[in-house]
Structure 1
């Protein structure tokens, strides 16, 4: 993957609201070894910055990590899977996402699901997701290696590499550390 675009500098006296949450991200890979990503955007900036993300999102109160991953897959793609279909966690990280209107810090885990190809349904998307997620695409590894598009996580191929032959994974999750992926940078003093 090519280097990411630079984020806009953090606003002086950065007063964007801060959110902290736990989140599950899922690598959905079909039988043709293509990975599903959504094209997301930050509509508070023009020209509109875009980036590609895996399905997933926040863990709701009272929900387990696996329950959240299963729910997020169904809501964002229309695919219904069972908790036992999830392989992982493949990787973990703490990521700061600075957007034009908010700074979100997420304690993330990445999971893997092998599925048959299917028609993606966005019927379960929230109003915000409908406004910001502009497309989806099933990516081959070669496409990901060659694209100039911004992909989050930026080390997605390292995460995917945690899946072994026969869709296996052993050992602890890959530790990706603390990273920032932003459209509007976060001032170091405000993290």
Structure 2
């Protein structure tokens, strides 16, 4: 039996430090735990929640880093992605936010049970380092990182 994918409106947050490094998470699809990859912080907006509020909440839940939703400013991009996660099909309408942050320790204490079994690490990457590493789930990730760095620097690449 074929099920229609679940459509979600999602906020993705790319924290950028002064050196132009972007904070990413290392995780897996619970259905494929042996395949690990780097991805951005974020998730679906709850009913009645703005995308900036969702982004700030996801940043707090997934990393322990607290920002005000207004700190996220205007989004710098959008994209759609279809994928499977934990045996279910999704289509995310993703809105990208960038926020300038000092490099800070990450805490996974806010993760729910499924997330705690699928997020393992966090690291600050330059786009070039991630490109060389080759463990990004979405081939657009490196370009999103470059755009986030440019966005927090006021459009200068």
Length-normalised TM-score, structure 2: 0.87
State the match for 1:20 in structure 2: 7
State the match for 1:159 in structure 2: 144
Take 1:142 and 1:41, find their aligned partners in 2: how far apart are those partners? 22
State the match for 1:101 in structure 2: 87
2:31 to 37, 40, 44: 44
Deviations 1:152-181 (A, max 9, x none): 432123223334376225xxxxxxxxxxxx
1:107-118 pair list within 5 angstroms: 107-118=93-104
Name the SS for the 2:117 alignment partner.
Answer: helix
Contact 1:90 1:111 in 2 (8 A): yes
State the match for 2:115 in structure 1: 129
Q: 1:93 to 1:99 in 2, by over 3 A?
A: same
2:41 to 32, 52, 55: 55
Contact 1:54 1:152 in 2 (8 A): no
Alignment size in residue pairs: 155
Deviations 1:55-113 (A, max 9, x none): 00000001011111111111111111112211431111111112351101111011101
Length-normalised TM-score, structure 1: 0.73
Across the aligned residues of Structure 1 and Structure 2, the Cα RMSD in angstroms comes to 2.2
Deviations 1:19-71 (A, max 9, x none): 2110000111122322111111123236x112211100000001011111111
Indicate the structure (1 or 2) with the bigger Cα radius of gyration: 1
Take 1:167 and 1:84, find their aligned partners in 2: how far apart are those partners? 17
Q: 1:34 to 1:26 in 2, by over 3 A?
A: same
2:133 to 147, 151, 154: 147
1:74 to 60, 73, 80: 60
Once the two structures are overlaid, the 10-residue window that deviates more, 15-24 or 94-103, is 15-24
Contact 1:87 1:168 in 2 (8 A): no
Q: Give the number of the structure whose residues are more often helix, by fraction.
A: 2
Q: 1:153 to 1:90 in 2, by over 3 A?
A: farther
Q: Which runs of 5+ in 2 are unaligned?
A: none
